[in-house]
Amino acid sequence: MRRSSTLWKAYTIAFISSFCVMVIELIASRILAPYIGVSLYTWTSIIGIILGGIALGNYVGGRIADRYASPLVLVSIFFIGGLATIGILPAIKIVTSISWFSDLPVMLHFTLKTFFIFFLPSFILSMVSPTVIKLALADLGQTGGVVGAIYAFSTAGSILGTFMTGFFFILWFGIRMMVWLVAGALILTGVLSWFLWKTPDRWRFNLKNIITWSLMLCVVAASLVLFQHRSDWQSDYTKESNYYSIRVMDEMGVKVLVLDHLIHSYVIPDDPGFLKYDYLKIFEELVRYASKDNAAPHLLHLGGGGYSLPRYLEKFYPQSRNEVVEIDPEVTEVARAELGLSPNTVIKTHNRDARLFLIQRPPVDKFDFVVGDVFNDLSTPYHLTTLEFDKLVKANMTADGIYMINIIDHYERGRYLPAFIHTLRQTFKYVYLMGTSDNWKGAGLSTYVIAATDRQFGFNEYETHISAGGKATVGKFHDVAELEAYLTARNPILLTDDHAPTDILVASFPR
């Protein structure tokens, strides 16, 4: 009976430690998002660093277990692991505020930041399994069965930690509270391990026990003090969702929406006519030019953000129909609560993935315009850039509809812009590139607008129509012949569902 009880203690402890490691790995991407975004590079850095911590922790833990395995060592690992987990929060502020890594290539930049924030807790917590294995191995004839069972429970803890964090915990508690809950669970497990594991002379009044109890009380007290004063050294956000860390700032009456580390919108809640970004003004110009004979255009906006353009069109094109596909319902709620999106708006919102939305809707009521505003630094959703997606968009558009996309890249050195245009040209007869200057070679890293359509634009007609009210056009068309030469020189790749390395294509510039 005692043997069975010991094994179940070992199974439970291994389960809890692996559960906590996986929670840390899952929330790591959300913790880093406000500083380096969420991209293939972010996830690669997180997985690689935490696996490295697990490997080294298992090795060092095994060496320690061979020499010093005891319940006290196990308790110490949990306590130190809890403090290291709490240390993630100040480490974020320190590591992300220094500029040591900013000039390094993106891959090394992200990896080093991830290392200094997440390596230590994953390393310490990975010492648990070798220690509990050593404590549980009373009969060497059953070594294989005991080790296999402990690793099975450890893996089960990782699986449950993955599902609970991804599906529930982040939404229920938020990222920073999750760090505190994991730290609390580790410290509590350490305390329970001290009481549940058989320890000789635990209650004897001697120097060793006095020091042990004093250190345990100090760790618990320090954790409570740090939690009580957490607002002094950890960042807070307006809302944390399963997709973004959402922050809204007020700059002299202009609300600024920040998703992760990227500013997405500048909004004046009481003034829908305010369009801060030039690419939004170009979108509006294209709608005005192409809708001169259509007073009630039907638009689909891929990406809601601050709802700047949909609100503008709702006011100045009152007969227009605007549908927004915004994957994160919390972004929509923030737009309603703080960015002036009226509860009585006729803008229709679909909180789901854009591609899934187009796949599942019957392409009967087609759109005159599809607006692609999903660029998010290094984390452009690759499945919204491919040839297959372009064909899906076209199937949901009218015969002379226009697919408009904003894209950030370096005109001369970038690889993403030419690949995007090249891919669109496989589906649409005409693909136009627009910017805010006629000096294309000097444009550098900037935001551009691509218009893909089966209708031919008249550049002079466009400028005459847009400037009729006395204002100069914001959008400048790239010369068609020069664009052809540009694409030929760039030798762009075709983006498909099988090959769309978008994160890599946009990662060649310092962040």
Q: What's the mean pLDDT in 224-236?
A: 67
- What's the pLDDT tens digit per position in 78-93? 999 999 999 998 898 8
**Is residue 14 within 8 Å of residue 152, measured between CB atoms?**
no
Q: Which two tokens stand for residue 127?
A: 């010492």
Q: In Å, how far from its chain's centre is CA 167? A: 15
- What's the pLDDT tens digit per position in 441-456? 887 788 999 999 999 9
* 34 vs 54, higher pLDDT: 54
pLDDT value for 1: 45
Q: Which amino acid is at 231?
A: S
Q: pTM above the 0.85 mark? A: no
Q: What's the mean pLDDT in 34-41?
A: 80
> Which residues, in sequence order, are CB contacts of 179 under 8 Å at separation 6+?
24, 27, 31, 85, 86, 88, 89
Last residue of a domain, one of 179, 211, 236: 236
Same domain (yes/no): 80, 163: yes
Same domain (yes/no): 313, 451: yes
Last residue of a domain, one of 236, 263, 287: 236
- What's the pLDDT tens digit per position in 346-392? 999 999 999 999 999 987 899 999 999 987 765 678 899 999 999 99
Same domain (yes/no): 299, 189: no
Cα separations in angstroms, 153 against 13, 144, 158, 287:
9, 14, 9, 58
Give the closest residue to 41 by CA, choosing from 104, 85, 88: 104
Same domain (yes/no): 173, 285: no
CA–CA distance, 194 with 191 (Å, rounded to integer): 5
Q: What's the mean pLDDT in 404-415?
A: 91
Query: Is 250 within the bounds of a domain?
Result: no
* Domain span including residue 398: 273-505
CA–CA distance, 188 with 213 (Å, rounded to integer): 14
Provide the number of structural domains found in the chain.
Answer: 2
Per DSSP bridges, beta strands 476-477 and 348-350 are unpaired
Query: Is 242 within the bounds of a domain?
Result: no
pLDDT band, residue 102 (cuts 50/70/90): confident
Same domain (yes/no): 281, 203: no
